[in-house]
A and B are shown apart, each in its own frame.
Chain A
């Protein structure tokens, strides 16, 4: 079993839709959690950190469920510019960041 697993998609959604991604992790000792965005042929960029209480940044909401060992990302009112690959990342006890393989999102006009 991979340490961090994501549904690869692709997710194709119309503009204005709400879309949610999940990411599961296997190491219960994992300490910190992140969502990165990666545009085609570009480097990953941090979208948001995921805190235990859940956090929101505009149209984006991230949540952590330690009991079930997953994190989620919710995007409301999708824009064309949200089209990208979304990578979850988990910081383990060895202070190493482990990435999921990414979920591809395409927002359609």
Chain B
């Protein structure tokens, strides 16, 4: 099992460009998440999907959209990238959103917006 995979690993964008970060999991998990990690800020939740067909905003959703394409895949889209979106983006998945479900993280996408 690959666990959680993310593409691309690295990306450089110019301000105003758009892109989609892809995430897939092969653990048959119901819930999926997108976080960003900035120096000194820890991980912050952007959006999550508790189950296929649902998505909800997290702590920092502005400037992002998500799509839960199917049970396996959860994508994050930046419609008009801004330098403030330079960050490392992690996708995660868990069996569900209940208290004891461990979240498994993908390897991350390092995004730079110039």
Is B53 among interface residues, defined by CB-CB distance under 8 A?
no
* Interface residues of chain B: helix, strand, loop or mixed (majority): loop
Q: Would you call A91 and B40 a contact (CB within 8 A)?
A: no
* Interface residues of chain A: helix, strand, loop or mixed (majority): strand
Interface bits B71-114 vs A (CB < 8 Å: 1, else 0): 00000000000000000001000000111101111111000000
Interface bits B19-43 vs A (CB < 8 Å: 1, else 0): 0000000000000010100001111
In the A-B complex, the 3 residue pairs with the smallest Cβ-Cβ separation, listed nearest first, are A43-B105, A101-B42, A32-B99
Option from A34, A95, A101 in Cβ contact (under 8 Å) with B41: A101
Write the nearest CB–CB distance from B32 to chain A, whole angstroms. 13
Q: Would you call A46 and B103 a contact (CB within 8 A)?
A: yes
Option from A42, A46, A101 in Cβ contact (under 8 Å) with B102: A46
Contacts of A99 in B (CB 8 A): 35, 42-44
Write the nearest CB–CB distance from B86 to chain A, whole angstroms. 16
Q: Would you call A91 and B90 a contact (CB within 8 A)?
A: no
Option from A42, A49, A91, A100 in Cβ contact (under 8 Å) with B42: A100
A-B contact pairs, 6 of them (CB 8 A): A31-B99, A32-B100, A43-B90, A95-B50, A96-B59, A101-B41
Option from A43, A95, A97, A102 in Cβ contact (under 8 Å) with B108: A43
Check A87/B42 contact, CB under 8 A, given A31-B99, A44-B105, A97-B103: yes
Write the nearest CB–CB distance from B39 to chain A, whole angstroms. 9
Contacts of B99 in A (CB 8 A): 31-32, 91
Q: Would you call A102 and B58 a contact (CB within 8 A)?
A: no
Chain A residue with Cβ nearest B31: A95
Write the nearest CB–CB distance from A10 to chain B, whole angstroms. 13
Is A4 among interface residues, defined by CB-CB distance under 8 A?
yes
Interface bits A85-101 vs B (CB < 8 Å: 1, else 0): 00100010001111111
Is A45 among interface residues, defined by CB-CB distance under 8 A?
yes
Measured CA separation A95–B33 after assembly (Å): 12
Q: Would you call A87 and B48 a contact (CB within 8 A)?
A: no
Interface residues of A in 31-72 (CB under 8 A from B): 31-32, 34, 42-46, 49
